[in-house]
Amino acid sequence: MEIPRSYNAADDLIGGNLMAGRAGKVAYIDDAGECTFGELAERVNRFGNHLLSLGLRMEDRILIAMHDSIDWPVAFLGAIKAGIVPIAVNTLLTPKDYEYMLSDSRAKALLVSAPLKPQFEPFLSKLPFLKHVLVPPFNLSKSSPDLKAAPTTCDDPCFWLYSSGSTGMPKGTVHVHSSMRITAELYAQGVLGLRDSDVCFSAAKFFFAYGLGNSLSFPLMAGATTILMAERPTPDAVFKRLTEKKPTLFYGVPTLYAGMLASPAFPRTESLSLRSCISAGEALPPQISKTFKEKTGVEILDGIGSTEMLHIFLSNRPNDFRHGTTGKAVPGYELKLVDEAGNEVKQGELGELLIKGPTAANLYWNNRAKSRSTFVGEWARSGDKYSQDADGFYAYGGRTDDMLKVSGIWVSPAEVEAALVSHECVLEAAVVGHEDEQQLIKPKAYVVLKPGKQASVEDLQAYVKSKLAPYKYPRWIEFAAELPKTATGKIQRFKLRA
């Protein structure tokens, strides 16, 4: 598809709905109320003007650490329309993570939900680039409702997302203006058939690449209505929205689907309006998909995307589906499986998945070495191992590194190990992925205690939770006399996995 050279993503996503006559149609429903496309357009303009009045200019960066509400797309799109680059960050992180991201990005403004502000206050005065801290709800009454889109191009930096790395240091992933429209056309419309009559609800939040498409670029491109939820996506919270707001499309992750199926409060089929459900973030165990279909009559379409490619590039489809696989390449993307030497593997063999497509990020900010190793010419390395069967379906086969996907969020074993070893009783620790009863991967730790020291599993789990984002803690801890190592002293995690 052709994106014009002169192009502003926010102007396109908002303006297209006004041109289509949807100004009076509801765009967003959050916990406090609703907002039409016309009201959204005005608020986006006012917010963009507000940022400009603060002295922010084209290509300046702002960091968004906000819970999902209508204020989120207002801030994100208002910045983009003004030519300012928003950086969406996970709301579940620690002060140390946030300090690093603000320092690394040199953001000039921080947009933070009031409940999250205490996480930032200890270090805000130490950041020389940060000039403004804005807390929603935003007072935009003095800002003009008219804003001409900044003269950006389709290849200009549009927004960043931070991606976790194997060393635990997050990487600023820079995406361009054209990418949101392209993912919406290739996946949301090409695979899901998203249309303006749909009502969308994503358990994955805006700050995920997955959630950003689900709740922002996809419904705005199609003119659909979107339900937002600020609270944590527990089964009960999700059931409430599914039965009361009647979404037609629901986006979740395998851990959530498993929790929903295990809940006695799972709603009756006649109380739902779902036509399609989507899963991403980690491989979907086939039993979860089959049980969900039995309960609802709706297939869960399993797919895989990445922060680097912005959204799903490999997916099952409504009429081209196979349980236990991640489907086939989304039209517009090319895939290949290669061995360690870069040669394509034979059919049925495991190889690293490489992706070629128009939505790859430009680079990792301030990380040239990692950019060059991940983005190799037109291809991007996923770090995931897959095999392909004779019918063209791809099946997940693990990671090429030690990273874990836990509830759809990357976790670095090295980071969890470092937290454990900082405990006064711990001598050594190794963390690997382990399947729970739902066949979903969670961290498991093997711990060697210092001579004469004692610590319980519960003590160590609580300690890790105090040091890291809570979802990173080891669900199981096994004490050992020693850890298996190579002759050079490197821990042999493959032996622990076995």
Q: pLDDT, tens digit, for every residue of 322-348?
A: 998 999 999 999 999 999 899 999 999
Task: Tell whether 176 and 298 lie within a shared domain.
Answer: yes
Tell me whether residue 402 is in a domain.
Answer: no
Tokens 């995406």 sit on residue? 175
Tell me whether residue 401 is in a domain.
Answer: no
Could you check whether the bond before residue 474 is cis, i.e. omega within 30 degrees of 0?
A: no
Task: Tell whether 204 and 56 lie within a shared domain.
Answer: yes
Range of the domain at 233: 9-388
Task: Tell whether 326 and 417 lie within a shared domain.
Answer: no
State the Cα angle at 205 between 204 and 210, rounded to 5°.
60
Look at residue 487 in the predicted model and tell me its pLDDT: 55
Contact in structure between 251 and 223 (CB atoms under 8 Å): no
Confidence of residue 485 (pLDDT cuts 50, 70, 90): confident
What is the C-alpha separation between 14 and 44, in angstroms, rounded? 9
- 151 DSSP assignment: -
Q: Which amino acid is at 237?
A: A
- 344 DSSP assignment: B
Crossing angle for the helix pair 286-296 and 254-262, to the nearest 10 degrees:
50
Domain with 463 in it: what CATH number?
3.30.300.30
What is the C-alpha separation between 162 and 212, in angstroms, rounded? 13
Task: Tell whether 426 and 364 lie within a shared domain.
Answer: no
What is the C-alpha separation between 56 and 76, in angstroms, rounded? 14
Domain with 219 in it: what CATH number?
3.40.50.12780
The pTM of the full predicted model, rounded to 2 decimals, is 0.86
Tokens 């358990």 sit on residue? 203
Tell me whether residue 75 is in a domain.
Answer: yes
Rounded percentage of the chain residues whose pLDDT exceeds 70 = 98
Task: Tell whether 298 and 420 lie within a shared domain.
Answer: no
Task: Tell whether 161 and 122 lie within a shared domain.
Answer: yes
**b/e for 73-94, b at 16 or more Cβ within 10 A?**
bbbbbbbbbbbbbbbbbbbebe
What is the C-alpha separation between 150 and 166, in angstroms, rounded? 37
Task: Tell whether 416 and 383 lie within a shared domain.
Answer: no
Q: Which amino acid is at 40?
A: L
Task: Tell whether 382 and 465 lie within a shared domain.
Answer: no
Task: Tell whether 341 and 471 lie within a shared domain.
Answer: no
- Domain end marker among 342, 373, 388: 388
Task: Tell whether 246 and 299 lie within a shared domain.
Answer: yes
Tell me whether residue 310 is in a domain.
Answer: yes
Confidence of residue 163 (pLDDT cuts 50, 70, 90): confident
- 277 φ/ψ angles, rounded to the nearest 5 degrees: -125, 145
The structural domain count of the chain equals 2
State both tokens at 31: 């916990």
| Coil, strand or helix at 235 | helix
Contact in structure between 386 and 423 (CB atoms under 8 Å): no
Render pLDDT for 385-442 as a digit per residue (tens, 0 to 9).
Answer: 899 999 999 998 877 777 788 888 888 887 898 899 899 999 889 999 999 998 899 9
Task: Tell whether 194 and 275 lie within a shared domain.
Answer: yes
Tell me whether residue 397 is in a domain.
Answer: no
Tell me whether residue 372 is in a domain.
Answer: yes
- Of 4, 330, 293, nearest in space to 188 by CA: 330
Rounded percentage of the chain residues whose pLDDT exceeds 90 = 82
State both tokens at 410: 């990357």
- Domain end marker among 354, 388, 422: 388
Look at residue 498 in the predicted model and tell me its pLDDT: 77
Confidence of residue 165 (pLDDT cuts 50, 70, 90): low
Tell me whether residue 399 is in a domain.
Answer: no
What is the C-alpha separation between 153 and 6, in angstroms, rounded? 4
Tell me whether residue 447 is in a domain.
Answer: yes
Contact in structure between 284 and 269 (CB atoms under 8 Å): no
Task: Tell whether 334 and 477 lie within a shared domain.
Answer: no
- Of 317, 430, 441, 436, nearest in space to 384 by CA: 441
Contact in structure between 83 and 152 (CB atoms under 8 Å): yes
